[in-house]
Structure 1
Amino acid sequence: MELLFALTLLAGLYMAWNIGANDAANSMATSYGSKALTLKQVIVVGSIMEFCGAFFFGHRVTHTIAKGIVPIELLDQHLVVVGALSALLSASLFITVATYFQLPVSTSHSIVAAMLGFGLATASQGRLDIDQINWGVMGKIVLSWVISPIFGALLAFIIFTIIRLTLFDRFDIDVVENVFRYLQVGTACYVAFAHGSNDVANATGPIAAALGYLGQETPVWVLLIGGLGISIGFATWGYRVIETVGRRITELTPTRGFSAEFATATTVLLASYLGMPISTTHTLVGSVIGVGLAGGLASVNLKIVQRIVASWVLTVPVACVLSIAIYTILVIFI
């Protein structure tokens, strides 16, 4: 059992590293795309703020991932640990492949689908009734996945439109953009903090489940592992996805980057407060598309958007099936 706990902690750290490499990176990509921050500055600022968000505000969503989907209190502790390990490994492997191909996939979708796969696998073995899976919570999570990019896009569209109508018509555009270059440093910190607060749960939730955590208070050291893993992933491999989101969807100026980041961070932080594991990736990409549409549909690279959306569609079934397969294998041999 101690070996299983150790493997789960390592898998959680690996998952946190993946979150930093893929999800956290794209949360700061707009600052790089608008040239408000250099790549090195993005990595330093992002790593610090991601850690702070994860450590100080990450406990609410951890609870949802830990026991909101699969009623772990009804299962043998050994199976819970195996299931948590399976979920972490399957989600992590999928995200690693996506990051390699520079695709900004959702780590939230990955881990939620993987935890669902764990639940379905136990149900297939007769250890859990399928209707005991918290389908109501799953429904709310899936609904939040749909709402968050739309809300982010709408909010970013409105913010950028207000900036364009109130400032561009009164002042020199270059002067306005230069001012927002500095303001965007603030929103970059805001979005990184918000992302850490929400998406750290994708790593810490299964760890908390494996430890038998059932209450609202997540152990501090669990959040510490998550925060450190995200920061390391951001610093070591985050540049791959930063390029896709920051440069390839639409041309980003400081005012557009500010609008997208502010909209994303506000949406994600609100979701963290409500304990909902939404997709920062979807929200940010939706926000970037929103500011792009404010300049006309022609300014959005639809081919890149289609490629990103295709990877989103694949996330849930692939992570779910992979989790079922890994769980089935581990139960046999461990």
Structure 2
Amino acid sequence: MNRNPLDKELQHISGMNTASQALVQRTAAPGLAILFLALVAMWASASVGQTPAAVVVVIGAIVAGYMALNIGANDVANNMGPAVGARALTMPAALLIAAICEAAGALLAGGDVVETVASDLLVGLNIAPASFVLVMISALLAAAMWVHLSTFIGAPVSTTHSIIGGVTGAGIAAAGLSAVSWTDIFIIAFGWVVSPIAGGAIAALLLFLTQVAITRRMDKLRAARTWVPVFVAVMAGTFAMYLADKGLQRVWTPSPFTTLTIGLLAALIGWAIAFSGVRRRSIELENRKKHVATLFRLPLILSAGLLSFSHGANDVANAIGPLAAIVSTLSHGTAEVGTDLPFWVLSIGAFGISVGLALFGPRLIRTVGEQITKLNEIRAFCAALSTGLTVLVASALGMPVSTTHIAIGAVFGIGFLREYRSRQEMMRKSVPIYARFVDPRELNATPEMAFANAREADHRRLIRRRSVYGIMGAWMVTLPCSAILAALVFFIVSKFAL
């Protein structure tokens, strides 16, 4: 059947429109990011005025804005990924909540940890102020480039470790190996191992407790009325202490007793509110696991928002800490790291994280929430609560850890627990009672049986190994790659600037 030439022409035009819309979508986000950096340059220029060092400050502000964009694109996925993967939040709602909470955390409570970005790492950096400024710019640019590359390939990495690697590499390039506190580097490296294991173990324990206490009971709703308020109380107390101890350091530094008291009061209030809400909500639900899981939806959303607030308060220093050091050095004429943050510097980090999240965050949010293991409201809540608990304990012990590693480790731990229990259930159903005392290798009596058992075991894998290996590989190379990149940037920039 011959087609009308007009139909062919209309189809051709429709295809061109579709292609042009796809092109616009691909170029809109980078274009808006460039617009944001242009606004950062104008904001920095207006803030510092006509000073001899204005050009250097503006360049540093642009690089800090670039780093903030990448933090929003990569790091925030750890907080919102489980909630989106569990279908508790849509992607637009997650982006909106995270953007508001990240900006609020950065503006209201951010900036107290700026000094730790470089002062704890560079102990022998006795160089001229101009070289110190180049060290900070090189560290920022290298860290931002590495996080950008990691986001492009879909690997969630620690932006804290990226900026630490950048400061270390640029410091070595400027003053040699003696400029670096290797003890702190080794402690940080030790945290790479401890933090994801601790996060995964605590998340798996929480999930196991919810299964024993609620989802594996005959009367799930009755059990939920008792235990969901308890889990909410633990969440409320944990995040209250977390915010008091770490998230609000810039405006308030409570004593350990005060922090504990705040946690207990928050837990009591959280339990009372959840007790009433769960009883009222459970009347409308059926005695099924899927329905009971919805009782964790609101606590999950609240925990994700609180994690975002705390993340903004703490990790904004990764973007604007070196910029603050640059501004202080140029103002006082001596290389300085510890300094108070001007509001215009803090605002670049706060809004940069939110803009980066909105423009580039969905890809990493899907990676964390959907491409590691399947999540529902209960599993995602356990992952979020595990992250808060692990960071709080590590903070109390004085151990530097990565929130990224803990959050991803929590999702891994949940997946591995589900897989283990699934395999155990398979063994109970498929292996006769008399065969349970036989060497498992003797069950593969024939090649066909071995193939069938291997295929069944593969079907029981509830966590994607490829995602695990890829993310762990990115973690291992983050600090050395950002350090090497920072050293190269410093050598290149110093050839033209010094």
TM-score if structure 1 supplies the norm length?
Answer: 0.92
2:169 matches 1:117:
yes
Query: Quick check: 2:199–2:387 contact (8 Å CA) kept in 1?
Result: yes
Deviations 1:188-229 (CA, angstroms, capped at 9, x unpaired): 112212222232121122112222354464334332221111
Going from structure 1 to structure 2, the CA distance change for 1:106 and 1:271 (only over 3 Å counts) comes to same
Match of 2:92 in 1: 40
Indicate the residue corresponding to 2:22 in structure 1. Answer: none
- Residue 218 of structure 1 is matched in structure 2 by 341
2:121 to 62, 69, 72: 69
Match in the other structure for 1:22: 74
Q: CA deviation at 1:99?
A: 1.0
Contact 2:196–2:406 (CA under 8 A) maintained in structure 1: yes
Partner of 2:139: 87
The one-letter code sitting in structure 2 at the alignment partner of 1:56 is L
Could you tell me which residue of structure 1 aligns to residue 322 of structure 2? 206
Cα distance in 1 between the residues matched to 2:326 and 2:398? 20
In structure 1, the partner of 2:103 is: 51
Is 2:361 the counterpart of 1:245? no
Evaluate the alpha carbon distance shift between residue 8 and residue 277 of structure 1 in structure 2; reply closer, same or farther with a 3 A threshold.
farther
What secondary structure is seen at the aligned counterpart in 2 of 1:299? coil
Residue 333 of structure 1: how far off its partner (Å): 0.1
State which of 393, 406, 420 in structure 2 corresponds to 1:283: 406
1:146 equivalent in alignment to 2:309: no
Answering whether residue 376 of structure 2 is matched by residue 329 of structure 1, we say no
Asked whether the 8 Å contact 2:125–2:175 carries over to 1, the reply is no
Q: Which amino acid aligns with 1:89?
A: L
2:482 aligns with one of 316, 319, 331: 319
Q: Does the 8 Å CA contact 2:372/2:412 hold for their aligned counterparts?
A: yes
Letter in 1 for 2:110: G
Q: 2:298 aligns with which of 175, 182, 186?
A: 182
2:373 match: secondary structure: coil
Distance 1:324 1:123, change over 3 A: same
Q: Which moved more, 1:144-153 or 1:320-329?
A: 144-153
In structure 2, distance between residues paired with 1:142 and 1:210: 27
Distance of 1:274 and 1:81 partners within structure 2: 33
Deviating more after overlay: 2-11 vs 58-67: 58-67
Aligned equivalents of 1:271, 1:234: Cα separation in 2: 27
2: distance between equivalents of 1:144 and 1:197? 21
Which residue of 1 is the match for residue 442 of structure 2?
none
User: Given that residues 124 and 178 in structure 2 are in contact (C-alpha distance below 8 angstroms), is that contact kept between their aligned partners in structure 1?
Assistant: no
Rounded Cα–Cα distance in structure 1 between residues aligned with 2:292 and 2:376: 11
C-alpha deviation, 1:39, in angstroms? 0.0
The structure 2 residue matched to 1:266, chosen from 381, 389, 402, is 389
Check whether the contact 1:16–1:226 (CA below 8 A) recurs between aligned residues. yes
Cα displacement (A) at 1:14: 0.6
Q: Structure 2 unaligned segments of length 5 or more: list them.
A: 1-52, 221-287, 330-335, 421-460
Deviates more, 1:31-40 or 1:65-74: 65-74
1:158 aligns with 2:281: no
Find the counterpart in structure 2 of residue 127 from structure 1: none
Query: CA separation in 2, counterparts of 1:278 and 1:223?
Result: 23
Summarize the Cα distance change of 1:72–1:209 in structure 2 as closer, same or farther, 3 Å threshold: farther
SS of alignment partner, residue 74 of structure 1? coil
Other-structure match for 1:9: 61
Q: Distance in 2 between matches of 1:163 and 1:176?
A: 11
Q: 1:272 deviation in Å?
A: 6.6
The root-mean-square deviation of aligned C-alpha atoms, in Å, is 2.1
Partner Cα separation in structure 2 for residue 295 and residue 322 of structure 1: 39
Q: In structure 2, the residue corresponding to 1:108 is in which secondary structure?
A: helix
* Deviation of 1:271 (Å): 5.6
Code of the aligned partner of 2:488 = A
Q: CA deviation at 1:4?
A: 1.8
Deviations 1:230-280 (A, max 9, x none): 111011110111111110100001000001011113334566788876322
Matched, 1:31 2:83: yes
- Rounded Cα–Cα distance in structure 1 between residues aligned with 2:140 and 2:63: 6
User: Cα–Cα, structure 1 residues 277 and 19, in superposed 2: closer, same or farther, change >3 Å?
Assistant: farther
Matches within 5 A, 1:301-320: 301-320=464-483
Correspondence for 2:309: 193
Contact 1:50 1:192 in 2 (8 A): yes
CA distance in 2, matches of 1:132, 1:157: 41
Further displaced range: 35-44 or 133-142? 133-142
CA distance in 2, matches of 1:114, 1:153: 28
How far, CA to CA, are the matches of 1:320 and 1:243 in structure 2? 28
Rounded Cα–Cα distance in structure 2 between residues aligned with 1:122 and 1:282:
30
TM-score after normalising by structure 2: 0.62
Instruction: Classify 1:268/1:49 alpha carbon distance in 2 versus 1 (closer, same or farther; 3 Å).
Output: farther
Count of matched residue pairs: 329
Task: Give how far 1:161 is off.
Answer: 1.2
Cα distance in 2 between the residues matched to 1:158 and 1:274? 21
